[in-house]
């Protein structure tokens, strides 16, 4: 398993100063930028599109940008995000007419590809397309809004996903999104997760006394992860 990755979700950032927020959280020790895209159709919320992704790249962000598409259909928007600087693009199987084709489209655009599974969505489809998957993202809340509480049943699902990934022998990230904080990140890691999306629990804990506002909360997460035997 690769090193643990912390991926702050900018959905919870201050959009009036988004570039500064992203700079600070990366300087605080975060690894990726998690980019939630909602269309007010697949999920009941409307967020941001490729122009914001492109703006972050032009601002000077060089860290991986992990784009999570909560849109339906997905294929039309995939090339736009690839051109805007996405590193990885994940989508929900329910939002694609042809999951294999959508995964290949992402890879053809030069990005890492991944599937996202809602709390009640089974993992069945994963084994049939695992040769085209770089990231498995498990939703530990119902998608659409930040600030929700972690759904405990996701831990068993994470263990199942880890078994599937390990059995495949492939280098695939197991990511989780929803209600992740310093109090539960260790338990989540023990279930086999290696990549952690955190929104309000991270951006909501900024401290002016920290050099980069988020140093303390990122360190608290790292300290908990360091306790997990791998």
Provide the annotated active-site residues: 36, 177
Around 11, how many Cα atoms within 13 Å sit in the side-chain half-sphere? 28
Q: Are 42 and 74 in contact (CB under 8 A)?
A: no
| Of 6, 5, 25, the residue nearest 204 (C-alpha) | 25
Token pair listed for 119: 């709390």
Token pair listed for 32: 């990726």
**Strand 173-177 versus strand 135-139 pairing type:** parallel
Q: What gap in Å lies between CA 147 and CA 19, rounded to an integer?
A: 22
Collect all residues with Cβ–Cβ distance below 8 Å to 79 and sequence separation of at least 6.
105, 109
Other C-beta atoms closer than 10 Å to the C-beta of 207 total 12
Q: Are 138 and 157 in contact (CB under 8 A)?
A: yes
Q: What gap in Å lies between CA 207 and CA 75, rounded to an integer?
A: 40
| Helix spans in the chain (H) | 18-27, 50-59, 78-84, 99-108, 126-129, 154-168, 185-190, 200-203, 215-226
């Amino acid at each position: 398993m690769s090193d643990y990755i912390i991926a702050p979700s900018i959905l919870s950032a201050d959009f009036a100063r988004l570039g500064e927020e992203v700079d600070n959280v990366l300087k605080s020790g975060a690894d990726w930028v998690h980019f939630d895209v909602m269309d007010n159709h697949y999920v009941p919320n409307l967020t941001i599109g490729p122009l914001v992704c492109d703006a972050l790249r032009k601002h000077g962000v060089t860290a991986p940008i992990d784009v999570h598409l909560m849109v339906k259909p997905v294929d039309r928007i995939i090339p736009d995000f690839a051109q805007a600087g996405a590193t990885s693009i994940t989508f929900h199987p329910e939002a694609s007419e042809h999951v294999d084709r959508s995964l290949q489209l992402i890879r053809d655009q030069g990005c890492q590809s991944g599937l996202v599974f809602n709390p009640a969505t089974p993992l069945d489809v994963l084994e049939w397309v695992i040769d085209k998957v770089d990231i498995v993202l498990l939703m530990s809340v119902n998608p659409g809004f930040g600030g929700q509480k972690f759904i405990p049943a996701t831990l068993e699902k994470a263990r199942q996903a880890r078994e599937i990934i390990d059995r495949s022998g492939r280098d695939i990230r197991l990511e989780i999104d929803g209600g992740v904080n310093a109090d539960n990140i260790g338990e989540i890691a023990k279930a086999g997760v290696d990549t952690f999306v955190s929104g309000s629990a991270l951006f909501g804990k900024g401290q002016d006394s920290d050099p980069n506002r988020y140093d303390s909360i990122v360190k608290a997460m790292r300290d908990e992860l360091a306790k997990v035997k791998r």
